[in-house]
Amino acid sequence: MSLSGFKMSNTTQAALWMIGAIIAFTTMAIAGRSVSAELDTFEIMLFRSLIGIVIVLAVASYSGAIRTIRFRKLRLHLLRNICHFTGQNLWFYAIITIPLAQVFALEFTTPIWVMLLSPLILQERLTGLGLIAALIGFVGIVIVARPDPTNLSPGLLAAAGCAVFFALSAIFTRKLTRTEGITSILCFLTLTQAVFGLVCAGYDGDIAVPSRAILPWVVVISVAGLVAHFCLTKALSLAPASTVMPLDFVRLPAIAVVGMVLYDEPLEVLVFAGAVLIFLGNYINIRHVGRRVQN
């Protein structure tokens, strides 16, 4: 990539893509709060998925990738999308009910759960150093959540739970990519989650339709979600996870500042302290896995 004769390194390009991902994730959180007064989490997921279907099919048609769509692992697709739908609903509930910095800090535990659950699902070996990394991460979780009967709120449980379901979604995605293309995965994801959203939002026969005032925010949620994951995937294609992950960690102070400015949320030292331990656990594991792959 050149700009006036200047050639950017892959690391610099990855950093720029990560800035895009951070902006998109932060924007999605703000949009999620903006629509929460009118829509519940199921309705948010329904309209987000309907818009997502249009975007995915339009991009696939334009690029010619629509011809590659195949659904060879329907049961695995369904299992993966149930996990993602559950995790995403918990995430939207959490960002509405607790400080944004707490949500993002607990969401950073997703790689730890991937590491712990992969031996059960993918038969991958869990090493001693991996267990140490997980222990450090869980100490961070305790510091962030500070669980006791007075402050163990549903929002905190939702934030912790979304990380588990996002981890399961990531593991099943890894299995799907062995036989399925990214267009097939995204297409089936948006289709099934639209159905899930319709069933869950409409079980009582009452689905709120976005008003003209919040409709742009619903579109922002859908677009920002797709852009965030595209930017993150692009960054990982340009630089190793051990380089990209510290850049992703910038999301925490960024969302903490947004929470303080827009919602008068306090900057809590313990949240940052716990998040540092969560990051350290993740980083130790990624570096260890990287060395194993090289050897």
Q: What is the pLDDT of residue 270?
A: 84
Residues 131-151, mean pLDDT to the nearest whole number: 77
| Per-residue pLDDT at 214 | 94
Please give the single-letter amino acid code of residue 249. F
Selected residue with higher pLDDT from 48 and 15? 48
Main-chain dihedrals φ then ψ at residue 137, nearest 5 degrees = -60, -40
Q: What is the mean pLDDT of residues 84-90?
A: 95
Tokens 């995937």, residue located: 233
The domain total for the chain is 1
Answer whether residue 236 is part of any domain.
yes
Answer whether residue 243 shows pLDDT above 80. Answer: no
> Tokens representing 76?
């695995």
DSSP classification of residue 268: -
Give the mean pLDDT of the chain: 84
Facing residues of 6 across strands?
3
Query: What's the first-to-final CA gap in the chain, in angstroms?
Result: 31
Give 112's pLDDT tier (boundaries 50, 70, 90): confident
Residue 10 in domain: no
Give residue-wise pLDDT tens across range 160-170. 999 999 989 88
> Is residue 6, in this structure, part of any structural domain at all?
no
DSSP H or E run through 238: helix 215-238
The pTM (predicted TM-score) of the whole model is 0.84
In this model, does residue 291 exceed pLDDT 80?
no
> Which pLDDT band, with edges at 50, 70 and 90, does 132 fall under?
confident
Determine the pLDDT at residue 276: 85
Q: Does 260 fall in a domain? A: yes
pLDDT confidence of 136, banded at 50, 70, 90?
A: confident
Is 3 among the domain residues?
no
Would residue 245 count as lying in a domain? yes
Residue 62, pLDDT > 50, answer yes
At residue 1, the pLDDT reads 46
Place of tokens 């449980």: 157
Asked whether residue 12 is domain-assigned, the answer is: no
Res. 28 pLDDT band, cuts 50 70 90: very high
Is 70 exceeded by the pLDDT of residue 242? Answer: no
Question: What pLDDT, on the 0 to 100 scale, is given for residue 288?
Answer: 63
Lowest mean pLDDT among 13-17, 21-25, 145-149, 156-160: 145-149
Cα Rg for the chain, rounded, in angstroms? Answer: 19
Q: Picking from 73-87, 104-118, 241-255, which range would have the lowest pLDDT averaged per residue?
A: 241-255
Per-residue pLDDT band for 217 (boundaries 50, 70, 90) equals very high
Rounded to whole angstroms, what are the CA distances from 78 to 60, 73, 142, 201, 234?
21, 9, 32, 19, 25
In a domain, 11, yes or no: no
* Domain enclosing residue 123, as ranges: 18-294
